[in-house]
Amino acid sequence: MSRIFDIADRYVDAFAALDPNAATAAGITGHEAEMTDYSPDSAAAIAALDRRTVAELAAAQAEGERDRIARDVMMERLGVRIDAFDAGEYLRALRTIASPMQSVRSGFDQMPRATQQDWQNIATRLRLVPGALDGVRATLLEGLSSGRPAAQRQARECATQAAIWSGQRGRPSFFSTLRDAFDATPALASDALRGDIDAGVSASEAAYAGMCTFLETEYLPRATERDAAGRERYQLMSRQFNGC
């Protein structure tokens, strides 16, 4: 293995450990019973990993075209992540699609459900939802304190999402559907495991109900009325989403 591919492999392992939800989404196994920490300290740890990796890549000699492409792609992707961190974008990451509040919930969508161990992983991760949302709140509050609010419309719609996912809008919560899926597989029946899942469902529902209250009562009044991003943020986000 070349030096550059070794750096890439080690980066994937280190990143998966820091962001277990992203690891699950990418099909990287071994972190299913973990939950991503969305606090400011965790964002700083990921940024530090990105910086170290960019420095290693810059010092590594390409051993051919595959190495050059791998290095250039990683340098570009990690570079824009570092720029976004330095701009404090993580402090106002509140959107109806693909922000931390959604990642906590969507982390369950791609988890295997075939064995009792798979369901034990789900039960364990469910119990970690409250702590993950505590981290989301801490980051958003730091964003408000530093003058980086998200838009009111995003806060309002995310509060609605949190209410729906927690079962407050006249329909079953998202988390109760996980319990239903377990119950629909008689071969996996286990009173102890069912109890773990039930406890996790209750904890997750309460956590998202609390997130709804936080967004409506604490965050929304301090969010900005403006939806527009402005030139500098638009340029940065264009790089992040499109690479241009």
171-225 pLDDT tens trace: 999 999 999 999 999 888 899 999 999 999 999 999 999 999 999 999 999 999 9
Cα angle 190, 173, 112; round to 5: 50
Could you tell me the pTM of the whole model? Answer: 0.94
Element (H, E) at 7: helix 3-18
Provide the 8-state DSSP code for 184.
T
C-alpha–C-alpha distance, residues 192 and 173, integer Å:
22
Using one digit for the tens of pLDDT, what is the confidence trace for 93-142? 999 998 999 999 999 999 999 999 999 999 999 999 999 999 999 999 99
C-alpha–C-alpha distance, residues 88 and 43, integer Å:
10
